[in-house]
């Protein structure tokens, strides 16, 4: 009886010692993993936990840097045109009741990209084996403004009928029509395509400067 009792006590003590050792070992491993932050210990900790490192480059940060360019003016067209404005009577000839002005107009059209419209989903970044690549889809190019250069715009001819006064609004109306004509001419000449091409070149240069090895801007 005594022999059987001692044997059971010895088995219980061995099991308890095993549990204590197991707990202490787990604590030691946890402390080791928690403090292994660099070098060989960090690599051993990664092997023990089975963790792998992944890196997510912050797309919003890149978007913000591009957006700082704001309205990126990439092309300026200098344009010249001749515009005639006139008022006439359906009854009397122009010599009596007509009013006519001929303007030689010089102006500019400015095109580019409004980068404030760039969204995070328009930027895709890949980081594989240390090779950082980026793809950016730019917003549509725009014709920002068309203006008339008043210093280089002049009245070439003005004639007014004998029985009517000079219409003070005819010149301003003709200038407004000339501005519309300059805008149409710039669009017909492909200013939007040139603006986008130049914007792609500018943004590409910027992104290479930010450290990307491969850049695709569309």
Contacts (Cβ under 8 Å, ≥6 apart) of 123: 59, 62, 63, 66, 134, 135, 136, 137
Please give the Cα distance from 133 to 121 (Å, whole number): 15
pTM over 0.75: no
CA 207 to chain centre: 11
Please report where in the chains the tokens 């130049």 appear, as a residue: 198
Q: How confident is the prediction along the chain (218 residues), in pLDDT tens digits per residue?
A: 444 445 555 666 676 776 777 777 777 767 666 666 666 666 666 666 655 554 445 566 777 777 777 888 999 999 999 998 888 877 778 777 788 888 999 999 999 999 888 888 898 888 877 788 889 999 999 999 999 998 899 988 888 878 777 888 888 889 999 999 999 999 999 999 999 999 999 999 988 988 888 999 99
Taking CA atoms, 132 is separated from 81, 125, 126, 201, 212, in Å, by 49, 7, 6, 19, 5
| Token pair belonging to 148 | 């008339």
Q: What is the DSSP letter of 52?
A: -
Distance in angstroms (rounded) separating the CA atoms of residues 101 and 37: 81
Distance CA 66, CA 143 (A): 20
Largest CA distance in the chain: 144
Contact 93, 164 (CB under 8 A): no
In angstroms, the CA 118 to CA 61 distance is 12
Domain spans, the chain: 2-49, 59-217
Nearest to 131 by CA among 214, 207, 203, 215: 214
């Amino acid at each position: 009886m005594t022999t059987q009792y001692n044997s059971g006590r010895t088995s219980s003590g061995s099991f308890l010692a095993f549990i204590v050792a197991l707990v202490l070992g787990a604590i030691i491993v946890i402390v080791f993993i928690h403090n292994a932050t660099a070098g060989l210990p960090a690599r051993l900790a990664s092997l023990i936990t089975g963790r792998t490192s992944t890196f997510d480059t912050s797309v919003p940060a890149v978007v913000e840097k591009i957006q700082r360019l704001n309205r990126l003016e990439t092309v300026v067209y200098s344009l010249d045109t001749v515009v005639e404005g006139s008022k006439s009577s359906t009854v009397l000839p122009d010599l009596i009741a007509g009013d006519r002005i001929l303007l030689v107009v010089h102006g500019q059209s400015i095109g580019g990209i409004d980068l404030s419209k760039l969204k995070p989903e328009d930027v895709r970044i890949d980081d594989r084996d240390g090779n950082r690549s980026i793809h950016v889809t730019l917003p549509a190019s725009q014709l920002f403004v068309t203006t008339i250069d008043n210093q280089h715009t002049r009245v070439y001819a003005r004639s007014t009928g004998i029985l009517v006064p000079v219409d003070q609004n005819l010149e301003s109306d003709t200038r407004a029509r000339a501005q519309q004509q300059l805008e149409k001419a710039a669009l017909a000449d492909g200013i939007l395509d040139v603006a986008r091409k130049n914007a792609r070149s500018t943004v590409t240069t910027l992104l290479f400067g930010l450290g990307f090895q491969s850049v695709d801007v569309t």
